[in-house]
Structure 1
């Protein structure tokens, strides 16, 4: 299994310490303490039942310790999926995650039936409109409608956002806790020790008592299932890593304490005969104990309402857990990829949530009896996953002893062995007859059906996704470590140092020799536009100013340049028909005007499109034929009118290279005209002229210039001078562009970014561009989208596809952007793009799946040189590969 790395999360950090404690604790204290306490006391007595739960808690404690260490060590969405993937590989991970999804989904479905059933306890007249029966359970219209309404409600809450779900969880869990505390406190005041007489233990003799205690201990661990939701949502937790392990263990301790104290409270306020009467009557022994403790039947209903809150907290927690587990499998291409879609606004795995929600809507139609079978089968799935996680805990200590472990368990061999033993014992309890939790034939049928569905998904994913099956991108611990100590982050730091040492010894691509030629005259600095007249007058008496629509006129830049030219005695001609993504027809029209007006020099005043058009006009004014003939190499020339470029936007780099990109309106081809004659006679780069750039243009052009530098640095044609320039420019962009976008840029930052943009044009002139630009040109040629936005949708995926073919250079870029390894380059770029509000897809830009064949074919048609210049070009630039890449960008 090939392991990749990433340094940024796809999820929002929304869960606080309280949130994750309430998610785990709320999952554990559902409805069972309201309806089953009388059964536990009847089986083992009050003290015996308490000891049974404490013994069960000890069993879970060892498993919890394994989870407590693994979760902060791998704080990624999916929990068990990630642990088992690192330890056992894709097959083991599939089994483990598929098993626990059964557990989560079964509880969600069961709670959908439990809620209306509890309402029936409080209000028997609630059941109206008999429909049919399943396995002896009568289904009524009111019962069914209530279940469906709440299923939809919980689903919507979870899609609305993790924080919304957490707020609901906090409120309801606190309500349950408050009711439990009221019962415990009231029992101490109104209870009587005499009530314990005759019911402290059940069974005759020591052997009989131990037997009954073990019976309760055998079932008690299944009431503590829920702490494992924490690792499922670990990527969304905004808490220092070491603290996550502590909170996980605290949730188990609170769960054990809650159940033990509730058992004691019931036995302390009700004697044996009262408990027996209640158990054989309403069956809600805990509610009757609440009534006795307060001498009020109203308080019994209060406790029942708290129990109903427990149903919703369990439901909500396992909805969170189940959807995240599905998402993680989809991210690893183990189930259909659409399960991994995140909501564009709330960043929740909404497809997985909808699937779990749909199952909870459909489940009540099967009746409560069948769902009891399903939840028992689901518990078996959870315990199987626990066992595999415990084994993973041991395997990873052997396999990865130096893994950063913010919460490190002492005596890991003993803890691991006990965790495996305890989980294995619980598995055997489900298998061996007479344990009280042995699976019935119907429940084994449920396990078999779920297993068969898993086999279908396994085979489907293997066939469809092929080598992608089992893909895993490890999240670097340092990214989410919060306020950890230096010791916690020393290992990633050492890893980065080692990688840089390896990079330093990497072979140079240019040791076979290289050429470098760029005769551009750069005039750079604030106020340098004042020299435009003196520079232009050397070339003649008539200057044609090429520009776009209104921006340079509106800002006064056009009038200023025209005046500076006229002050030197020059005549001016205006051509202002250039549009974004300039057309070949526009260039032809401008060249015709330049010839007619006897222009001696062309002044390109504007952004990248204007400068490209000005280059084309200067070239075609001195050459015959159609510009497309020169673009496709049917004709060549080294003649052009003198050209002065005055950029009013940074980023395109057109002022410092010898090509001009144009779009043919007849066929949508977007391709560059290339000639040394297109290198400007002079380029005046004045940061003061850039100040009027809209924020959207700053963001898009910032993306463009960063792509120029990264592509030139990693290109097959790279050489020492382009490498040095690109490495100088990349941090100038990364460290300053966001401030400019937010309107906070200083004079120094404006100068740095403008310089970086010019350097970007210089390096691509020599080293060329690669896959990202090759794939973007067809997009903006087809849909006329902003070039920088198109690159934002394309470049991260292009980097992911090519980084392994030049790990040394992509790793170096990643470290400039804040990562460690080559695989961190794309995630770090995504982080920067998010800060620029450029988190876009091709779908956002109007591209549809039906467009992909044309895009892939056109990329190969118009950019064959750029594709060959791409690292790993033989594998990643075939038409089939390009189509797959385009589809991944939708």
Structure 2
């Protein structure tokens, strides 16, 4: 455990069913005069009327709005920069991101691009964001990334066939709205993939080299909430109780990773998304049980605590058996959630394995966080498990 650790997150969080309807009452939390706002939206939320609700509230406050809805899933650098060019000559006092993790990440980037003389490639090269961006409000519509409370933004770099994270304290929003009503109509496949993504954030944060008392608290509560609601949310999507638990669990997972960080699962997942466009949550779900099995001998005691949070029966079981049950439960979830366990379904074959491992090896920020070092041969072996 580190001797020093820190925790920081969004300035203000409001949660509960229909909380989006109250957004205009909380605009004072932005702490600046707002005449115009950019809404970065998920197209599905426009079809469902949530963007109309948002625009109406802002209009009633005399705020002009401009809405864009063309953020790609797993957005590329070019996608974000194209959107920025569309708004470069427009002035906004506030940016509102409402959608999944890709939309929230894009909103963060657009916020700082408006106030800093950097391109996204400059930021990938290690340049630090110097100036605070335009204030943001982030409203997640999936229970997955926890991006609404993290200082991270992920972009795809096509020429490197890799997803890369940019980190800055200036990505944190002024206000977060957690309204489970936005997640009620999520397709089953997205509920499954994003839910397992959130679970991965929490489990990896709990076993990471940077885990600490603060991150552990959020990670275990996230694991408890997700474990008790992911199947209910998947099979009975209209359950507001299950959807709210998933949304809170996702947020707590984001808080955990902000302090402790993710590890080898994410490092191995990034090339799968970058080269084969495998959705991030799916890639994490496929890799999670196998990376945890690799780590098993050094995380057994931690997995015992995870087993308690997951509600696994503790009766007369050894620590090793309880740790195994955690991995077995994860594998059972992926089957019931119909998450693929075969990379061939996405066009991966044996000849791609060395390149995937070489790409993952570059993600040192996350590999160094794993409780057990991986060689390139061990990474290849994990990928090959998913090529039955």
- Distance across 2 between alignment mates of 1:689 and 1:668: 32
Q: Deviations over 1:63-108 (max 9, x none)?
A: xxxxxxxxxxxxxxxxxxxxxxxxxxxxxxxxxxxxxxxxxxxxxx
Q: Deviations over 1:209-259 (max 9, x none)?
A: xxxxxxxxxxxxxxxxxxxxxxxxxxxxxxxxxxxxxxxxxxxxxxxxxxx
- Residue 352 of structure 2 is matched in structure 1 by 851
Please say if 1:521 is aligned against 2:21. Answer: no
- Distance across 2 between alignment mates of 1:888 and 1:673: 30
Q: Which has the larger radius of gyration?
A: 1
- Distance across 1 between alignment mates of 2:377 and 2:121: 28
Please say if 1:812 is aligned against 2:305. Answer: yes
Matches within 5 A, 1:444-523: 509-510=1-2, 512-523=3-14
- Residue 865 of structure 1 is matched in structure 2 by 365
Preserved contact between residue 592 and residue 621 of structure 1 (Cα < 8 Å)? no
Higher strand share: 2
Residue 688 to residue 567, structure 1, CA distance change in 2 (3 Å): same
The Cα of 1:698 is off from its aligned counterpart by 0.5
- Residue 325 of structure 2 is matched in structure 1 by 824
Kindly indicate whether structure 1 or structure 2 has the higher relative contact order, using CA contacts under 8 Å at least 6 residues apart.
Answer: 2
- Residue 597 of structure 1 is matched in structure 2 by 90
Q: Deviations over 1:343-372 (max 9, x none)?
A: xxxxxxxxxxxxxxxxxxxxxxxxxxxxxx
Residue 644 to residue 749, structure 1, CA distance change in 2 (3 Å): same
Q: Deviations over 1:524-572 (max 9, x none)?
A: 1112112323444754211111123x31111111111111111111111
- Distance across 2 between alignment mates of 1:853 and 1:637: 38
- Distance across 2 between alignment mates of 1:754 and 1:635: 31
The Cα of 1:781 is off from its aligned counterpart by 1.0
Residue 579 to residue 588, structure 1, CA distance change in 2 (3 Å): same
- Residue 252 of structure 2 is matched in structure 1 by 759
Preserved contact between residue 205 and residue 260 of structure 2 (Cα < 8 Å)? yes
Please say if 1:715 is aligned against 2:225. Answer: no
The Cα of 1:591 is off from its aligned counterpart by 2.7
Matches within 5 A, 1:36-47: none
Preserved contact between residue 734 and residue 832 of structure 1 (Cα < 8 Å)? no
- Residue 888 of structure 1 is matched in structure 2 by 385
- Distance across 2 between alignment mates of 1:666 and 1:533: 42
Question: What SS does the aligned partner of 1:543 have?
Answer: strand
Q: Deviations over 1:313-351 (max 9, x none)?
A: xxxxxxxxxxxxxxxxxxxxxxxxxxxxxxxxxxxxxxx
Q: Which runs of 4+ in 1 moved over 6 A?
A: none
The Cα of 1:744 is off from its aligned counterpart by 5.8
- Aligned CA RMSD, in angstroms, stands at 1.8
Higher mean alpha-carbon deviation, 527-536 vs 582-591, is at 527-536
- Distance across 2 between alignment mates of 1:887 and 1:638: 44
> What TM-score results when the alignment is normalised by the length of structure 2?
0.92
The Cα of 1:635 is off from its aligned counterpart by 4.2
- Residue 186 of structure 1 is matched in structure 2 by none
Q: Deviations over 1:140-174 (max 9, x none)?
A: xxxxxxxxxxxxxxxxxxxxxxxxxxxxxxxxxxx
Matches within 5 A, 1:145-544: 509-510=1-2, 512-536=3-27, 538-539=31-32, 540-544=34-38
Preserved contact between residue 547 and residue 604 of structure 1 (Cα < 8 Å)? yes
- Distance across 2 between alignment mates of 1:532 and 1:816: 33
Q: Number of aligned residue pairs: give it.
A: 376
Question: What SS does the aligned partner of 1:546 have?
Answer: strand
- Distance across 1 between alignment mates of 2:116 and 2:351: 39
- Residue 142 of structure 2 is matched in structure 1 by 649
Unaligned 5+ residue runs, structure 2? 314-320
The Cα of 1:519 is off from its aligned counterpart by 4.4
The Cα of 1:815 is off from its aligned counterpart by 4.1
Q: Deviations over 1:267-293 (max 9, x none)?
A: xxxxxxxxxxxxxxxxxxxxxxxxxxx
Matches within 5 A, 1:556-567: 556-567=49-60
Higher helix share: 1
- Distance across 1 between alignment mates of 2:339 and 2:162: 25
> What TM-score results when the alignment is normalised by the length of structure 1?
0.41
Question: What SS does the aligned partner of 1:622 have?
Answer: coil
The Cα of 1:638 is off from its aligned counterpart by 4.4
Q: Deviations over 1:107-151 (max 9, x none)?
A: xxxxxxxxxxxxxxxxxxxxxxxxxxxxxxxxxxxxxxxxxxxxx
Preserved contact between residue 608 and residue 654 of structure 1 (Cα < 8 Å)? yes
Question: What SS does the aligned partner of 2:204 have?
Answer: helix
Preserved contact between residue 185 and residue 238 of structure 2 (Cα < 8 Å)? no
Question: What SS does the aligned partner of 2:200 have?
Answer: helix
